[in-house]
Amino acid sequence: MVYDIAIVGGGPAGLAAAVNARRRNKETLLVSKETMSSKLVQAEQIENYLGIPQISGSELIGRMRNHAEAEGVINLKDEVQNIYQEDRLFSLIGRENAFQAKTVVLAPGISTTAEIVGEADFVGRGVSYCATCDGMFFKGKAVAMIGYIPEAESEAAFLSEICAQVHYFPQYNLATELGPKVNVVHGKPQKILGRDKVERLITSAGEFEVSGIFIERAGRPANELLDGLQIENGFIRVDFAQATNLPGVFAAGDCTGKPWQISRAVGQGQVAALSAAHFLNDNQD
Ligand SMILES: Cc1cc2nc3c(=O)[nH]c(=O)nc-3n(C[C@H](O)[C@H](O)[C@H](O)COP(=O)(O)OP(=O)(O)OC[C@H]3O[C@@H](n4cnc5c(N)ncnc54)[C@H](O)[C@@H]3O)c2cc1C
């Protein structure tokens, strides 16, 4: 069978694309290597998704998945390893299956490799990659921000407005002043320690008692999937219609850039699906 729209990735971006593709009556396949986005499953509490003031990540992604299934999306668990185009059709090669589709929406998220000892163990229990999402959980407490890229500086400044103390560990040559409320420490993070939650950060410049550790590093996009796909600053380049440089290929969610947020992923997923539907209608034989 040739699908109208094949979506790679079953996180908020992919599921929003799938629901909206079905609303446009398109035969829709969603392929995801995880049944539930591990990013969302790690999110203990989400407090900034409009209309749902408090919900766990697992519950939210479960609801999104049920919604897509109720719309008639075909859901398959597989990892897409390669996509190529032949005679105006896209072939998606998975580990176990191969599929064909007229258009593709890429929504594979990003992978950030955990590098600090203890980091992976404490994700959602004090380790966070998003100050907007989790900053408020640490109101009035001491936190650390480990910045591998200068973008982390504005996050440290934001945290200093709400936290009692912010220790900033730049892992690059810091060229700017961060203001009196941010304690800049030139040290390499070595280990994260705690019982149930983060309690201490061990660095080459000493030990720091903190309740939260924010980490900001560049993500690695899944750009090996498709030959010729344009990447900009590490992310898939898209226009306002979520179109990539390749006709018939759209992208949405974290893989297209920051902020890495659910609402952005959902909005972009919807736009990508509608753009794919327009593309199909404009390119009918
Ligand atoms: C601990 C934590 C807390 C967070 N809290 C919040 C919050 O409070 N508020 C907020 O807005 N955001 C929060 N986020 C961020 C939010 O989870 C992401 O922005 C969102 O999940 C991005 O959605 P996405 O669909 O782009 O990618 P993802 O959710 O990462 O989904 C991508 C999916 O694609 C799959 N995939 C990848 N490659 C392939 C492939 N080759 N073939 C098939 N499938 C593939 C992946 O397995 C994954 O399931 C949090 C993240 C974390 C880690």
How remote is the CA of residue 226 from the centroid of ligand 1, in Å?
A: 20
How remote is the CA of residue 11 from the centroid of ligand 1, in Å?
A: 5
Nearest Cα residue to atom 35 of ligand 1: 9
Each residue's pLDDT tens digit, 101-156: 999 999 999 877 777 999 989 988 999 988 887 899 999 999 999 998 888 999 99
**Closest ligand 1 atom number to CA of residue 123:** 1
Spatial distance between the Cα atoms of 113 and 61, rounded to a whole number of angstroms: 22
Each residue's pLDDT tens digit, 207-247: 999 999 999 886 555 667 888 899 887 789 999 999 999 99
Do 1 and 28 touch, CB atoms closer than 8 A?
no
The residues lining ligand 1, judged by C-beta closer than 6 Å to any ligand atom, are 8-14, 31-34, 37, 39-40, 42-43, 46, 48, 79-80, 107-109, 123-124, 129-130, 133, 222, 253-254, 260-263, 265
DSSP string, 116-164: SBTTGGGBTTTEES-HHHHGGGGTTSEEEEEESSTTHHHHHHHHHHHSS
Domain 2-111+219-282 class in CATH: alpha beta
Do 260 and 110 touch, CB atoms closer than 8 A?
yes
Spatial distance between the Cα atoms of 246 and 228, rounded to a whole number of angstroms: 8
Identical topology for domains 2-111+219-282 and 120-216? yes
How remote is the CA of residue 83 from the centroid of ligand 1, in Å?
A: 21
Each residue's pLDDT tens digit, 65-79: 999 999 999 999 998
> For the domain 120-216, what is the CATH superfamily, name and number?
FAD/NAD(P)-binding domain (3.50.50.60)
Domain ranges for the chain, please list them. 2-111+219-282, 120-216
Structure letter (DSSP) for residue 71: T
Mutate to test the pocket of ligand 1, among 34, 37, 90 (most ligand atoms within 8 A of CB): 37
Helix axes 262-282, 12-23, angle to 10 degrees: 40
Other C-beta atoms within 10 Å of 174: how many?
16
Mutate to test the pocket of ligand 1, among 78, 92, 123, 130 (most ligand atoms within 8 A of CB): 130
**Closest ligand 1 atom number to CA of residue 259:** 19
Q: Is the dihedral of CA 136, 137, 143, 144 positive or negative?
A: negative
Spatial distance between the Cα atoms of 94 and 79, rounded to a whole number of angstroms: 5
How far the first Cα of the chain sits from its last, in Å, is 18
pTM for the whole thing? Answer: 0.81
* pLDDT at residue 223 in the model: 61
Each residue's pLDDT tens digit, 141-153: 999 999 988 889 9
